[in-house]
Amino acid sequence: MNTEHLILQDILTAIPWGLLLAFSIGPGFFVLLETSITKGFRAAFTFDLGIVFGDIIFILIAYLSTNQLLEQLKDNPTLFVIGGIIMLAYGLISFIMLKRNFQKKQEIEQDDDNIPKKNYFALFFKGFLLNFINIGVLGFWMMIIITYGPQMEMNTSRISIFFAAILFFYLAFDVAKILLAKQLKHRLTPINIYKIKRVISVVILIFGLFFILQGFFPKEKEMITNKLLPDTAVSE
């Protein structure tokens, strides 16, 4: 494929991950809604930028800690299997933990801090800290880089565009959440939260299975790609 088509493919691949991130319901999700309701759009957007900055730090850690190893293994189909297994395990563990914790009382975190709505630095830092103390976020980005990095031949430009696209769409979906905060909060009953989280876990499981199959059948995957995108298949 030529460079333009590869970049477009990477950006399109980033869209569902941005959506999954935006609706991965956790403490930051509810604090974002509460901040929007109590302090307004600018305050909530600043808080969200802090969360995204925490993601950027985690992405850099994930990339720098795996770059050399993945560079050596990037042409090995086994890496697809490894990445798929990691993704499968991530989705399965999330699904099991959901079922175990569903009976527990679920409380929506209230934004009961005393940060003034125009103290943007404090709001930014609060978003960053809330995200950065969650080690599961680092695990998520490690999973993404191990799975997708070799597909992009560990090309720094492609990986940068891919992660930038994920964060862009994530932020765009979050803006929609901020604007619809009151309606979303009203509809987020415990059973609806449980259903959304289950769907996200199942989607990650499906992605994991897909990557495992790519590792076992690399030639078939290349044939399917060429049939679906015949105009982008360019011999090297």
pLDDT by residue (tens digit) across 147-158? 888 778 788 899
Any domain includes 131: yes
What CA–CA distance (Å, rounded) separates 109 from 143? Answer: 28
Any domain includes 236: no
Any domain includes 110: yes
Q: Tell me what the mean pLDDT of segment 30-51 comes to.
A: 88
User: In which domain, by residue range, is 207 found?
Assistant: 3-228
pLDDT at 66 over 60: yes
> What is the pLDDT, as a whole number, of residue 75?
58
Percent of the chain with pLDDT over 70: 74
> What is the pLDDT, as a whole number, of residue 164?
95
pLDDT tens per residue, range 183-212 = 777 776 767 777 777 777 788 788 778 777
Question: What single DSSP character describes residue 109?
Answer: P
Any domain includes 234: no
> What is the pLDDT, as a whole number, of residue 84?
74
pLDDT at 236 over 70: no
> What is the pLDDT, as a whole number, of residue 128?
92
Q: In sequence order, what E strands does 141-204 have?
A: none
pLDDT at 11 over 80: yes
Any domain includes 235: no
pLDDT tens per residue, range 70-123 = 666 555 666 667 777 877 887 787 777 766 665 554 444 444 556 766 788 899
Q: How many residues does the chain have?
A: 236
What CA–CA distance (Å, rounded) separates 192 from 195? Answer: 5
Any domain includes 219: yes
Please provide the average confidence, as pLDDT, over all residues in the chain. Answer: 77
Spatial CB neighbours of 226, under 8 Å, sequence gap ≥ 6: 233
Number of domains in the chain: 1
Any domain includes 19: yes
Any domain includes 35: yes
Contact of 120 with 43, CB cutoff 8 Å: yes
Here the tokens at position 185 are: 């909060």
Amino acid at 136: G
> What is the pLDDT, as a whole number, of residue 65?
84
Here the tokens at position 81 are: 């299997």
> What is the pLDDT, as a whole number, of residue 109?
45
Q: Which residue has the tokens 């800690």?
A: 65
